Every structure is written in C-alpha cells, then in structure tokens.
Structure 1
Amino acid sequence: MEDGESSEIGNPNWEIALRKCENILASGTKSMKIKAMVNLAKYSKKAPEHVLSRFIPILNEILGHNAIANNSFPDSLQHAAAYCLKCIACRGDGSLAIEMGRHGVSHTLIKVLPWAEGMMEKSLLKCLMVVVSFCSKSREVVGANGGLIIIVGLLITCRNDVRLYLLEILSALTLLREVRKELIGIYALGFLVEAAGVGSMISRERACQSLGLIGVTKQTRRTLVELGVIPVLVELFRIGDNTMKLVAANSLGVVARLDYIRQVAQAGAIPLYAELLKGPDVSGKEITKNMFCILALEEANAVEIVGHLVRILREDDGEAKVAAADVIWDLSANSNTIFVIRDSGAITILVELLSHGSQEGKLNVSGAFSQLSYSESGRLALADAGAIPILIDLLHEETEELSDNVVESLSNFHEDPLYRDILSDLVNNPSFRNMQNRLFSNRTTDGNMPGYLPRALRTMSVEDFISNQDQV
C-alpha cells in the first residue's frame, strides 16, 4: 500500500492496495511484510474501516504465532504487527476495537505482553486499552486469562509513559465482578483509587463505579478510606459532568457510610450534594436525600445541610423547593435534627409552601410537619409559624397521603394540653375519627407506624448507573 499504488495519494484504490498487501503478508519476505504493515499503519487513518477489518485476523496471527507457541520474545515482525493493530484500534468510534475482540486479539495481546519491552510494550498496552474499553467480550477474555495479575505486575514496575494506559486498562477490567474480587484478594485496591484520580474522564468514571461496587463491605470500605478514596471521589463529584456527578455521589455514599461521615463533610461534599439536589435528575435528588440523612447524624453536618436547604427554599425555583422539602421530611424523622430545623428558620418558609406551593410541595411539607409534630419543640415552632389553621384547611384534600399527614399532625397537636381545647371539636368529629382509623390501619398494614419513616435511610446501588458497559 505504497504511494505509487494510487494515482492520488489521498484517494487510493483500496481494493487493489488491499489485495497487494494481503499477498505480501501471506508470501513476502520478512522485510517486505514489515514494510507492508508500516504502510498499512500509515494509511489506517484514511482507509475505509471494512478494508482495515480484513487485516485484523492476519495481523493477530502474525503477532501471536511465535510468542504463544514458544513463550519467546517478540521479533521485529511482531513489533510491526503490534504497532499496526494499535493504529487500527484507535481508528473511529470503537467498532474496529470490537471487531478485534471477535477475532481474539485481546487474548493474543495479553499472551505477548509479558515478553514485550520498550515501544512494542507501549503499542500493545495502548491497543489493549482501547479494546477492553469498548469490548465487553475482550474484558472477559483478559480477565479469565490472568490479565489482572499481568497489569498489576506492570503497574508495580512500569515506566511513567505507560502508566496511564495500565490504569485505564485496570478501570475497564474492574467492570467485571470477578476481577473486582481478584483485585481485593491481591491487595491492589490502591491502583484502582489511583485510576479514579488520573487519566481520561471515561476511565475515571469506570474506576469510580467500581469503587462504589467494591465498597459495600465494611472491610473494603476501611481499606479504601485508608487509601484516600474520599477526596478522590469528592474531586470527581466536583469536576465531573452530570453522569460523573451521579456516579461519584452514589459511590461516595456507598463508601462513606456511618463510620466516615465526618471525613466526607470535611472533604467538602455537602455543598456538592446540595447542588445535585437542585438539578433536574431524579436519581440525583434521591442520592442526595439518602446521603443527607446519613451525614446529618453529625450535628455540625446537620446544621450545614439544613442551611443549604433553607437557601434553596428561599431562592430557588419550585421544583428545587419541592426537593428540599422532601429532604426535610426525612430529616424530621430524626430527633437529633428537629432542633436544627426549628432554629434554621425553615418552618416559616415551609408554612408558606404548604399554603401556596404545588401539590407535591404540600405533600412533602405535610410529611415534614407530621414528623415535627411528635416533639414538643416541633409543635411549638409549627404553631408559632401559623401551621395549624393551614393544616385544618388541608384536612379534606383529595390526595390520601396528604390527608393522612395532616391527620397525623393534628392528632399529635391534640395530644398536647396546650392545643387540646382548640382542636377538640375537630378531633372528636366522626369524620376525623374515621380518617384517624384509616391512617392507623394503613400504617399498620404497611408496617410503618406513625412517627417512623423507613424511607429515610434507603441506599441506592451504583449498579443502577451501569446500564450498558460496552458503551463506557
């Protein structure tokens, strides 16, 4: 495929060039084969993909023949094949890399890699990085043939110019459950934390996903925290795009848990979760709610969290206010945060939302008030803010859950001697009694007695964000 083979260098007759190159690779001398592969690599950016794909099995056979048969060091012919495969793999949108997976190139790469040095090692690693990034089958092949041990071994001794390739290969391989287990078993989690902190954002996102999946057990969480995973995840949360923010936020929640909430807050995560709450993604709101419920178990964190929620209630649009009220609903189920909510000024703003907000906003506020009404200080703050008459006005709302929350709140007020007289007529009304009975029956059937919200500490799995690993 030389310049003279076409009348115009930018527009060669690819079929003629293809046949000539195939003939040389099949029966030419060693020097002719090397020259043909160098030229093929040169034209890999221009040649049609269907032309390049026809050379993949030929190059794969040249690359792997001697090394696989004899465990011998690669020769110059294999150097040229490795370089050519690397150039082809890097072409286009990944379809050629997937084609390489179908022809077993990943198996050949991992077999030859331990014997390679210098520029050939670099070509093999870059080719392998692209192939395992795009092709799930190749990840499985590499993982099943000792690939993790080879990659980790190279990371221990490698040169700086190939380290990023190795880390990106590692992040792709750890999308496999078996590889994650093996990585834990060989005490090499530090390399995955490193992979989350450097390299392309696609690779860092994969590493972030894997860290969340690995961090589900107490022992691995402790190891990851000791390896410095929290600031790495917080940084990804800060700089990532929307998808990265979701993955980092969720992985951080999985890894942090109760033992490390102080470190998470000190790393600056709370303002990032507050911003995620204001965004359009429903998953982001759910992740934030779950994480805020955990972080708020520390009083200093609760003060900061509620401060952000109050700012959202005062300054942001209706949808963000609804989300903030939803978080306050969950936080109100924790007796330790009731005083924080009361002293923050949130209740006055929530009363306004209960009166003039959307149906969903009213539901969330009524849920928060139903929880706050279980404490004496909560009832006092609600009454001072004018919540009681608004709750009475909402008593016959069509939405059953909203009505139940109102009944729960007013029932709690009625139990308090300070408010019993003003609510006696209402509470003793047969229709109100019927609503109380329905509320008690519903909560008992659901296993949720009034005053307890099991939804407050739900945890979302990172698996929810790995919808199609082949597209990572």
Structure 2
Amino acid sequence: MDPSYQRGPYTGLDWVQATHLYERVIASENEALQIRATVELGWLSEDVPESILAQMVPILVELLGRPLGDHQPSIQEAAAYCLNCFTRRGDGALCMHVGQSGAIPSILGLLPQSAGRFQRILAKCLRNIVSCDSLSRVILARNGGLEVILDVIASCSDDTRPYLLEILSALVMVREVRRVLVNLDGLSLLIESAGNGKMVSRTRAAHAIGLLGVTRRLRQKLVDLGVIPVLVGLLQDGDMLAKLTAGNALGIISSHVDYLRPVARAGAIPLFAELLEGPDPLGKEIAEDVFCILAVAEENAVLIAGHLVRVLQGGNDEAKAAAADVLWDLSGYKHSVSVVRESGAIPLLIGLLSCGNNDVREKAAGAVTQLSYNEADREDLVNAGAVPILLRLLHDESEEVKDNAAEALINFSEDPSLSDRISEVFDIPAFQNILDRLARIRASDEHMVRSLDRMNVEQFTEDPELA
C-alpha cells in the first residue's frame, strides 16, 4: 500500500483492546483514518491471533462492499489488501472463513472496475480464497465468476494475469464450470494456466484438461490449441504430483491414433521412462498404460523398447517388473514382435527368470511366454538359454510362473524345428502335472461355453412372446 505508512513496533499489544480501537475508527467519518487503520491491520495480521482476525472479517467485507469513492487509495483497496494478508495465514481456515463470509461477490464486482495495483490485490486475494476452499469455488462460480474472470483476463495487465489464470485453474475443478468454459471458448486460457504460475495451479489445470480430454471432440480441440507441448513441459519440470497428473492427461490425449506420433515427437517417451523408473507406484502404472497406448505406432514402439531395455539393465526391481510387463503387452502387438526381438530384450528377459523378486519373475515369464508364440522369437529364446531355465521354473513357488513356463515349453515342443531339442520335457512329472491341470481347465471352459449356448437356445425357444 502507500509507502508513507510505516509499520511500527507492535509487540506486547492487547489485541482485544486494539480490536475495539479499530472498530471505533471504522465507525468514525474519517475515511483517511479508516484506510490507515485497515492497512496497519493488514501489516499486523502476521502477529495477531487468528481468532481475533476472524472477528475482523465481517467488518472488512462490509468495507469491501461500499460504493467506490474518490479517495486514493480507497477504503475498498485497503480492505482488499487486509483480506489478502488474512488469506495467506496458517492452514487455510481463515482463508475459508473469508471466502464464505461474503467477500467473493464484492471482489467480483470490483475486479472489472479496478486497474493496476488495486486489481492485482483483488486478484491475489481471490486466488488465495479459491485455491484453498472448494466451497468458495462453487460460490464464485454461482456468482458468475467464470465470465468475469475471462473478461478481466482479456483486458488486464501482465502483472495481474498470472493470478487470474490461477483463479481459473481453481474454478475448473467445478464440473459445471468446465462445461461453461468450453462454451465460452476458454480452453486456450486453461492450457495457458497449465503452462504458467504456481505448480499447484498448473497441476489443477492439467487435471481439468485430462477430464475434458476424455471427449473426442474436446481432445481434438485441445490438441489443436497446443496442449501437448504444455503437458510434456509439466511432465518434465513439475513436482511428482504434477508429473503424475500431466502424464495421466497425456495418456488420455494419446488415446486416439492421430495423436500417438505428436505426443512422441514432443519428447514424452523418455519422460515416461523416467516415471517408470521413479519411486511412485502410480507413476509406474501411468507410464505402463501410456507406453502400451503409444506403442500402437511402430516407430513409437521402437523408441519405447529401447528405453525398456535400459530399464531392464538397471538395478531397480520394481522398475524392471514394470518394464517386463510393458514388454509382455508389446509382445502381443503384431508389429511389435520383431521390435522386441531387435531391441535386445530377449536375453535380458531370460536373465530375469532367475531373479529373486517374484513379481519380476512373473512379468518376465509372461513376456517370454507371449514371445514363444512367434516362430522367430522361439528360436532366439532357445538360443538365449530359455529351456533349462523354464524347466527349473516348473518347480517355482508361483503358480503363474509355473503355468507360463509350461505354456512356453508347450509352444517350443509344437515347433517341428525345436521339438527334438526339448523332447525331454515330457518326461518331467511337474510338466505332466501342469499339462493335466491345463487340460482340465480347458475342458471345463469348453463345457461352460456349451452350457451357456444351450441355455441361451432353451430360453429363446421357451420365451412365450416368441412362441
């Protein structure tokens, strides 16, 4: 506020007495004194007990709602400054109290009428309020807040714009606001808010983008407006929550064949590999899902496989399991079979079959089994020493590992070019036991399918309306 107002020593004050003094000043007719006292209250707010400040909120809200006069700075600016100081306090309880005490409609009314410092103070205060309180967001939305914010953004100074974008990112957490934002052509501002401002605000915007991107029409509009590089930038520079949110949103954007290559060209694949190697389990899950989407494009699959091989060569068992799981999925893609083989992953997967980590063994065994359905890969698997390891896995403690090992060995045995090299597998009791169990499961499945078919036919013929 006014630099002529100098903060003095306020230690040892009787806050109750000071409150009564402030109330008497506000009740007076001296606007200059009211402004000075209100500004000093803002300065003091860092030291004043929160319970005392809460008592001051209704007074300040009333000052904020007064008609604008000619005095500069105005009492409204002083009240906004003071409330802005309040909303920066503590754990957010006072901020919520301000938002739910009637300040929001007054701030909305003043924003279009203000400029410069006054407008910036109003924007900061409103930003603080809606950032910490979901109910305040609803109050803002129901008072026409979105329309006002969009209009003010279009005409405000560069110094105020970041705060308004942060308000927008908080507002779009309300579902009804997202619908209106689309109708008002505000998506470009939402994308801008995902690329600028505080990390928590950028994360909120990315979350809203992910929610909107589920719809095909909006997904295309977001891409046309430049959302991909913005999300990739957040995936690269954000904190962990921002990376997870941006990664998830990129996964949603990628779920259309037209955007597989643009996402990869923007540099997303190495960043998802970092997420896969990172400490967060959700990050691994997101990276796995997005890799499986992006790998639908063959050139993406080549890049992804290269990063997965690097992960398999590392020392992180959780990351190895995640990488093997992706390779398991990629091995089922028609074009990716050769990609996995040419990446050099097969010897690494064979090595992981002897890993002490059960999850790693299961994922590697699944990938090996999937690869064993392809003739060229069967040859490479056998040459890499898969057979003796798979034979040992028939005695593994994991039923899934045992079943996958048996399935791969069956595929080898049915290959005329390999049957002689693994004929001894049929003499192993454990292998015969698994074969018998698999045969019973298949027979049970076939019986169930026949029963369901028969039941459907009987229901059809006995339907009285069709008789």
Q: Report the TM-score, using the length of structure 1 for normalisation.
A: 0.86
**Matched AA of 1:17:** A
Query: What does 1:382-397 align with in structure 2 at a 5 Å threshold?
Result: 382-397=381-396
- Which has the greater radius of gyration? 2
Deviation of the 1:58 alpha carbon: 1.0
Partner of 2:374: 375
Residue 319 (structure 1) aligned with residue 321 (structure 2): no
Query: What does 1:198-209 align with in structure 2 at a 5 Å threshold?
Result: 198-209=196-207
Query: Per the alignment, do residues 290 and 348 of structure 1 end up closer, same or farther by CA in structure 2, a change over 3 Å counting?
Result: same
CA distance in 1, matches of 2:217, 2:118: 39
Deviation of the 1:192 alpha carbon: 0.6
CA distance in 2, matches of 1:438, 1:30: 91
Partner of 2:433: 431
Query: Per the alignment, do residues 101 and 427 of structure 1 end up closer, same or farther by CA in structure 2, a change over 3 Å counting?
Result: farther
Deviation of the 1:419 alpha carbon: 2.7
Report if the CA contact (8 A) 1:125-1:165 is conserved. Answer: yes
Question: 1:330-359: per-residue Cα shift (whole Å, max 9, x none)?
Answer: 211212111011112211111111124422
Question: 1:37-95: per-residue Cα shift (whole Å, max 9, x none)?
Answer: 1221222233222222211111112212448xxxx999933232222222222333433
Partner of 2:11: 10
Query: Per the alignment, do residues 347 and 445 of structure 1 end up closer, same or farther by CA in structure 2, a change over 3 Å counting?
Result: farther
Query: What does 1:315-464 align with in structure 2 at a 5 Å threshold?
Result: 315-423=314-422, 426-427=425-426, 430-438=432-440, 440=442
**Matched AA of 1:331:** L
SS in 2 for 1:260: helix
**Matched AA of 1:435:** R
SS in 2 for 1:398: coil
Question: 1:397-434: per-residue Cα shift (whole Å, max 9, x none)?
Answer: 33222222122212222222223345556458752432
Q: Report the TM-score, using the length of structure 2 for normalisation.
A: 0.87
Deviation of the 1:377 alpha carbon: 1.3
Structure 2 gaps, min length 5: 1-6, 450-467
Residue 153 (structure 1) aligned with residue 154 (structure 2): no
CA distance in 2, matches of 1:10, 1:300: 68
> Larger deviation: 18-27 or 434-443?
434-443
Partner of 2:461: none
CA distance in 2, matches of 1:82, 1:62: 9
CA distance in 1, matches of 2:371, 2:445: 18
CA distance in 1, matches of 2:298, 2:377: 17
Structure 1 gaps, min length 5: 1-5, 448-472
Partner of 1:458: none
CA distance in 1, matches of 2:447, 2:182: 43
CA distance in 2, matches of 1:271, 1:438: 45
CA distance in 1, matches of 2:221, 2:79: 41
Partner of 2:264: 265
Percent pairwise identity: 45
Report if the CA contact (8 A) 1:86-1:123 is conserved. Answer: yes
CA distance in 2, matches of 1:443, 1:268: 45
Query: Per the alignment, do residues 446 and 294 of structure 1 end up closer, same or farther by CA in structure 2, a change over 3 Å counting?
Result: farther
Deviation of the 1:190 alpha carbon: 0.2
Residue 181 (structure 1) aligned with residue 182 (structure 2): no
Partner of 2:90: 92
Partner of 1:25: 26
Deviation of the 1:171 alpha carbon: 0.6
CA distance in 2, matches of 1:439, 1:292: 32
- Structure 1's consecutive aligned runs of 4 or more residues displaced over 6 angstroms after TM superposition are 72-75, 441-447
Partner of 1:126: 124
Query: Per the alignment, do residues 191 and 73 of structure 1 end up closer, same or farther by CA in structure 2, a change over 3 Å counting?
Result: farther
Deviation of the 1:118 alpha carbon: 3.5
Partner of 1:48: 49
Report if the CA contact (8 A) 2:64-2:103 is conserved. Answer: no
Taking only aligned residues, the RMSD between alpha carbons, in angstroms, comes to 2.6
Deviation of the 1:139 alpha carbon: 0.3
Partner of 1:243: 241
Q: How many residues align?
A: 438
Partner of 1:465: none
Partner of 1:469: none
Report if the CA contact (8 A) 1:221-1:256 is conserved. Answer: no
CA distance in 1, matches of 2:204, 2:221: 19
Report if the CA contact (8 A) 2:284-2:319 is conserved. Answer: no
SS in 1 for 2:418: helix
SS in 2 for 1:417: coil
**Matched AA of 1:250:** N
